[in-house]
Structure 1
Amino acid sequence: MLSLRNTLEQAVDDLVEKALARWPNVPAISGWLKLNTQGDWLLTGPVPEGLTISHPRILNFMARNYGCEPDGRYYFQNGPQKAYVHLVYTPWVYRIHPLAQGDLMLSTHTGLIGWPQAMFQDEQGRVLVQGEHGIGLLHSNDMDLLAAGLQEAEGALVHRASWAVPPVDPDTLIAARTRLRCVAGTSTGRRECSFTVHPIHSADVAERFKFDPNPEVDK
């Protein structure tokens, strides 16, 4: 199952569990995998710098096996080997999906559906969403969808919209690069939400939300 801190620690695939049982002491690695601000995985190790991973089966495998250590280091569990992920900004990149009823649906770059809880804007105008799965940057392609719900109230920006987590398999509603899915414990339904968009400085995000953007292997 999945457990929450400010982020999710994801249960691994059966295939990965079997590999861990067979090879329990494979050393972890760092410095070869990066998550950029568009939610893309980039290889940065002994391959051409910045090679983007795009194969759907690989993307879905990575999505299912992306997790976080208690100390805030994010990783991809690649079979028996843990690969720590360099985060260009945040550990999650959020997408907004408009539904037929006019509701909005929020997902992470790994396809996890959940509820928004707070919103922020940094000094570059980028919007960050704190969701059930942690803090994440809103994908730049979805700024117009967000802007439709923005209002000014008493000198502050406020976002008002109806959000939904559908009771049906969300992957049947929206065509997405990575399979959309809900996790156990996430409530379904629709909510009218109003969030003040708080200012935040990008340099403070990692410390405030307790994640390590440049994780290293334990010494």
Structure 2
Amino acid sequence: MDDIVKAAMAKWPNVPHCYGWLALDARGQWRMRDERCQALNLPGDVIRHQTLIDFINRNYQCDDKGCWYFQNGPQRVYVDLDATPYIIRTIVRVKDTQQTLNNDETTLGLQLHTGQFMPTVTAASMDADGNIVLSTGKLLALVDGRDLAQVASHLQIDGQHATDDALLHWLETSGSNNTLTLNLYESTTRHIHVQFSTIHTLMTVSGNIATPR
């Protein structure tokens, strides 16, 4: 959190919280939702000002109830989540850099929409639509749909490369007949078991609130 934000919180500690005006979509874009958007249940306008985006990213937090918010100076602006609290994008991996080291030597660079690198992934899930959610501890992140194919290329079913037909069968059977793994890391002993689950279920189990009010 920025020092100037901490100072504002200390100076004005009782500013009312704001709800419904800021959203994070499934592509990791921040959206501003005015009264009209809220009334008509519209997604809102994408925020494109990079300085503002960076400011939101640096001051994005979670409260003790699992509600996510942006600390805008003294005011806490709660965020409506279209999917998960974080969205993952893939980047080109460059060996022998600090970025690679922070990403635990993955064969595919995984970056959160806030700019940080995804910590070591410990769990993965896929829903009926083929969306992939990666997690570690309480950090829950949906893979951006535009990068889904790159992550899916690291999937294996029963130890073999997951073809489209095999993956479709796995989805149709809700993952009950075959073992699906995600092999993100260079170590062959660190295959991540993929469970079949919905984003809603994952959010509930992890204690995250999609629509704070």
Confirm or deny a common fold (TM above 0.5).
Answer: yes
More helix by share: 2
User: Shift of the alpha carbon at 1:148?
Assistant: 2.1
The Cα of 1:37 is off from its aligned counterpart by 0.5
Distance 2:138 2:205 in 1: 15
Partner-residue secondary structure (3-state), 1:162 = coil
- Cα-to-partner distance string for 1:105-125 (whole Å, 9 max, x where unaligned): 222111121221111001211
Which among 77, 82, 89 is matched to residue 76 of structure 2?
82
Matched, 1:153 2:158: yes
Structure 2 equivalent of residue 6 of structure 1: none
1:215 aligns with 2:204: no
Q: Distance in 1 between matches of 2:25 and 2:203?
A: 15
SS of 2:55 mapped into structure 1: helix
Name the structure, 1 or 2, with higher relative contact order (CA <8 Å, separation 6+). Answer: 1
Whole-angstrom CA distance in 2 between matches of 1:119 and 1:74? 21
Question: Unaligned stretches of 5+ in structure 2?
Answer: 96-105, 160-177
Deviation at 1:191, TM superposition (A): 9.1
1:32-90 deviation line (CA, Å, top 9, x unaligned) = 11111001111112476511111111111100000000110100000110011011111
Question: Which whole-Å CA distance do the structure 2 matches of 1:112 and 1:193 have between them?
Answer: 22
Establish whether residue 26 from structure 1 lines up as the match of residue 20 from structure 2: no
Q: Is the 8 A contact 1:106 1:116 kept in 2?
A: no
Instruction: Give the aligned partner of residue 115 of structure 2.
Output: 111
Q: In the alignment, which residue of structure 2 is the partner of 1:199?
A: 196
- SS of the residue corresponding to residue 191 of structure 2 reads strand
User: Counterpart of 1:84 in structure 2: which amino acid?
Assistant: Y
The 8 Å contact of residues 115 and 132 in structure 1, kept in 2 or not, is answered as no
Counterpart of 1:144 in structure 2 is: 149
Unaligned ranges ≥5, structure 1: 1-11, 164-189
Q: Any conservation in 1 of the 2:154–2:184 contact (CA below 8 Å)?
A: yes
User: Counterparts of 2:89 and 2:148 in 1: how far apart (Å)?
Assistant: 10
Cα distance change, pair 192–58 in 1 and its aligned pair in 2 (3 A): farther
Q: What is the CA–CA distance in structure 2 between the aligned matches of 1:95 and 1:133, rounded to whole Å? A: 19
Q: Give the secondary-structure state (helix, strand or coil) at the position aligned to 2:134.
A: strand
Q: Name the % identity.
A: 30
TM-score between the two structures when normalised by the length of structure 1: 0.75
Alignment partner, residue 17 of structure 1: 6
Q: CA RMSD in A?
A: 2.1
Offset of 1:23 from its aligned partner?
1.2
Computing the radius of gyration from Cα coordinates, the structure with the larger value is 2
